[in-house]
Amino acid sequence: MKLPSDSKLTEDGLAPAGQGKLLLIACGALAREILALIEANQWHHMALTCLPAILHNRPEAIPDAVEAAVRKHRDHFERIFVVYADCGTGGLLEARCKALGVEMVAGPHCYSFFEGNAAFAAHDDEITAFYLTDFLVRQFDAFVTKPLKFDKHPELKEMYFGHYTKLVYQAQTNDPALTELAKKHAETLGLEFERRFTGYGDLEVALASA
């Protein structure tokens, strides 16, 4: 998928396509998808600022980062919507958003809201599934291989993934090249491969409501 032509973020992280009344404070892993939705739906009242996706490696830091962004920008917008789910914060992000008076996306994480929270919750038999989104397929080395260090220590691969049985690629777009790359990641981890086309799932619903 090509990014919208106006998708480049400014120095302060705001998307020039949406200098409007509503600010979206989002995880950087969702930037492509959000910008695509803004363009497709002509949500010109929306602006976007993104926090580093690598915060997911330290979820305890997400609430403070979101609060800092809210306080930085809230005087310049009528409303703010936080495009994070719980994302491993153990309810702390939801509590912080309530204290700040801003809304956020419902759900435990992006794998859930991409598939649809209700549909994902029905997969209670998938505790041995490892999930990838479009973003994580592209950034597999940066977010999986290198942080877990099994590029230098292959023996760690079995330690981390020995109890997984399959890799589920939740595809937001129909991109054959990404599908092939996801298959390679499954082979690297020694897992069965499954592709599910989710589109934008509850992310689009949440933004439409906002």
Give 155-206 pLDDT, tens digit per residue: 899 999 999 999 999 999 999 999 999 999 999 999 999 999 999 999 999 9
Same domain, 28 and 88: yes
Last residue of a domain, one of 71, 105, 139: 105
Q: Is residue 168 included in any domain, yes or no? A: yes
Same domain, 87 and 44: yes
Q: Is residue 207 included in any domain, yes or no? A: no
Same domain, 137 and 99: no
Cα–Cα distance for residue pair 76/62, rounded to 1 Å:
22
Same domain, 181 and 158: yes
Same domain, 97 and 132: no
Last residue of a domain, one of 105, 134, 149: 105
Q: Per residue, what are the HEC states of 101-158?
A: CCEECCCCCHHHHHHCHHHHHCCCCCCCEEEECHHHHHCHHHHHHHHHCCCCCCHHHH
Q: Is residue 204 included in any domain, yes or no? A: no
Cα–Cα distance for residue pair 80/73, rounded to 1 Å:
9
Same domain, 21 and 85: yes
What is the CATH classification number for the domain harbouring 91?
Answer: 3.40.50.11610
Same domain, 96 and 164: no
Q: What is the pTM of this model?
A: 0.85
Number of domains into which the chain is organized: 2
Q: Which domain holds residue 37?
A: 16-105
pLDDT digits (tens, 9 = 90+) for 95-151: 999 999 999 999 999 999 999 999 999 987 788 999 999 999 999 999 999 999 998
Same domain, 130 and 95: no
Q: Is residue 79 included in any domain, yes or no? A: yes
Same domain, 157 and 78: no
pLDDT digits (tens, 9 = 90+) for 140-163: 999 999 999 998 998 899 999 999
Same domain, 64 and 101: yes
Cα–Cα distance for residue pair 58/112, rounded to 1 Å:
19
Segment (H or E) for 168 = strand 166-171
Q: In terms of C-beta density within 10 A (0-12 exposed, 13-18 middle, 19 or more buried), how is residue 124 classed? A: exposed
Last residue of a domain, one of 48, 72, 105: 105
Could you report how far apart the first and last alpha carbons of the chain are, in Å?
Answer: 25
pLDDT (average), residues 7-12: 42
Cα–Cα distance for residue pair 43/207, rounded to 1 Å:
9
- Cα dihedral 196, 126, 204, 49 sign: negative
Ranges assigned E (strand) in 64-106: 79-83, 103-104
Q: Round the average pLDDT of the chain to a whole number and report it.
A: 90
Copy the structure tokens of residue 169.
Answer: 């690629």
Q: Is 198 helix (H, G, I), strand (E, B) or coil?
A: coil
Backbone angles phi, psi at 123, to 5 degrees: -85, 55
pLDDT at 126: 84
Q: Is residue 83 included in any domain, yes or no? A: yes
Amino acid at 101: G
pLDDT at 20: 60
Report the 10 Å Cβ neighbour count for 177. 8
pLDDT (average), residues 51-67: 95
